[in-house]
């Protein structure tokens, strides 16, 4: 079975996100510049979103309640260890992929019930929101890296033509 085209796009986006932080030291990942969160916090925040949408809502489980608390939207900015949040991110995205790899168009059109009312938003909308959220924080991370004086940063989207080409 071929995965849904939006799932391909998410998987490509994740790889681009990781490419954007490749080589960042633990020290630089914890630097906060002004009101921006640090790179490590952004990793935890995206792990939070994936867990919330594709593990908690889609699969009714929450393997990392610590991530659900510490990195939720509006949670206080902290400076976690990059190695720890990357490990949590990998654990959560692996759990999310259990559902995403088999998600059909019909499944993506559904959403959690809201006390007898239609779903607030579908899982497909949540998938799109997650993709765009990654790109938002990817850009933020690149801005942080530029301000830290990092050189030879990625400057354009990677090999989407081979890795996640358009398909209907």
pLDDT tens digit sequence for 83-92: 999 999 999 9
- Tell me: the pLDDT tens digits for 6-55? 999 999 999 999 999 999 999 999 999 998 999 999 999 999 999 999 99
Q: Tell me the C-alpha to C-alpha distance, in Å, between residue 94 and each of 24, 47, 100.
A: 23, 11, 10
pLDDT greater than 60 at residue 100: yes
pLDDT per position as a tens digit, 106-160 = 999 988 766 665 557 899 999 999 999 999 999 999 999 999 999 998 888 999 9
* Arch. (CATH architecture) of 5-163: Up-down Bundle (1.20)
What are the backbone dihedrals phi and psi of residue 33, each rounded to the nearest 5 degrees, phi first?
A: -115, 115
According to DSSP, the residues that pair with 131 across neighbouring strands are none
């Amino acid at each position: 079975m071929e995965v849904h085209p939006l799932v391909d796009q998410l998987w490509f986006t994740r790889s681009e996100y990781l490419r954007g932080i490749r080589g960042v030291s633990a020290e630089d990942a914890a630097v906060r510049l002004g009101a921006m969160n640090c790179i490590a916090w952004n990793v935890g925040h995206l792990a939070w979103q994936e867990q919330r949408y594709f593990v908690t809502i889609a699969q009714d489980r929450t393997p990392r309640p610590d991530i659900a608390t510490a990195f939720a939207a509006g949670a206080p900015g902290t400076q976690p260890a990059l190695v720890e949040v990357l490990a949590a991110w990998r654990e959560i995205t692996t759990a999310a992929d259990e559902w995403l790899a088999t998600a059909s168009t019909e499944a993506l059109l559904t959403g959690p019930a809201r006390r007898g009312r239609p779903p607030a938003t579908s899982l497909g909308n949540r998938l799109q929101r997650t993709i765009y959220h990654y790109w938002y924080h990817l850009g933020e991370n690149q801005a942080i890296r530029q301000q830290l004086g990092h050189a030879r940063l990625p400057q354009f989207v990677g090999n989407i033509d081979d890795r996640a080409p358009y398909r209907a």
